[in-house]
Amino acid sequence: MVKNIIEAIQKNLEFPALVKVDPNIQETREKYHQAITEKLAQAAIPAVLTAFYKLLRTVDGCQKFIATKPTEDWLDILYKEKEEEAVEKVAHYADVTNNQAEGYMENVADEAARLIKESGGNPASAEKIKTYMNGQRHHILVYLPAVLNMGDLLNDESLDDGTNKMEGPVSNFLHKIENNLSGGG
């Protein structure tokens, strides 16, 4: 089981390293100095993982995930009727076409699904997957650019809260409590 799903996906897909979002400006300090592939990774990886996190907050969502075949269209499952909007947000952030963003996001989703299924054990357990993804919440949200408004897109405003990007001894302690309490239903 991977400890940090963001880093594992970045490494496995050989994407550029992501940069944590500065909680004061709600953006990476390097955004205007990043290459297109860096901006695409910065937007696509946390956007897709945020949608996975949202889906896997509940046991029902985890059971649906376990029953899904590896060949499914993950973006359709994750974003439902808002898939096109999610792709447009990532494309706009990275200054690429929607087709480029969608391809990147599909690759991220396939790799994320593989890693998450591994975290669920053999046979996969909905409770293990739910616990694993709750533990990944902070790892995901510190890289999520606020301009993507994924919380608004996924109907969970707490995902866009700037305090998710804060780090330090007190913030990290509070994030651990938050992870335990954000288990969904």
DSSP secondary structure string for all residues of 34-60: --HHHHHHHHHHHHHHHHHHHHTTSHH
Dihedral class, residue 59 (left if φ above 0, else alpha if ψ from -120 to 50, else beta): alpha
pLDDT at 23: 75
Retrieve residue 6's tokens: 């963001």
pLDDT at 180: 56
CA neighbours closer than 13 Å in the CB half-sphere of residue 183: 11
- The one-letter code for the residue type at 61 is G
pLDDT at 1: 76
Q: How many domains does the chain have?
A: 1
- The one-letter code for the residue type at 39 is K
Q: Rounded CA gap, 182 and 185, in Å?
A: 9
Does residue 67 sit in helix, strand or coil?
helix
pLDDT at 15: 95
Report the predicted TM-score, pTM, of the whole model to 2 decimal places. 0.85
Domain extent, residue 46, equals 5-181
By CB atoms closer than 10 A (0-12, 13-18, 19+), residue 10 is buried
pLDDT at 158: 83
Q: What is the pLDDT along the chain (185 residues), one digit of tens a residue?
A: 789 999 999 999 999 999 888 776 556 655 556 788 999 999 999 999 999 999 999 999 999 999 998 788 999 999 999 999 999 999 999 999 999 999 999 999 999 999 999 999 888 899 999 999 999 999 999 999 999 999 999 999 888 765 555 444 444 445 455 555 555 54
pLDDT at 167: 47
C-alpha distances out from residue 168 to 4, 15, 23, 163, 172, Å: 18, 27, 12, 12, 6
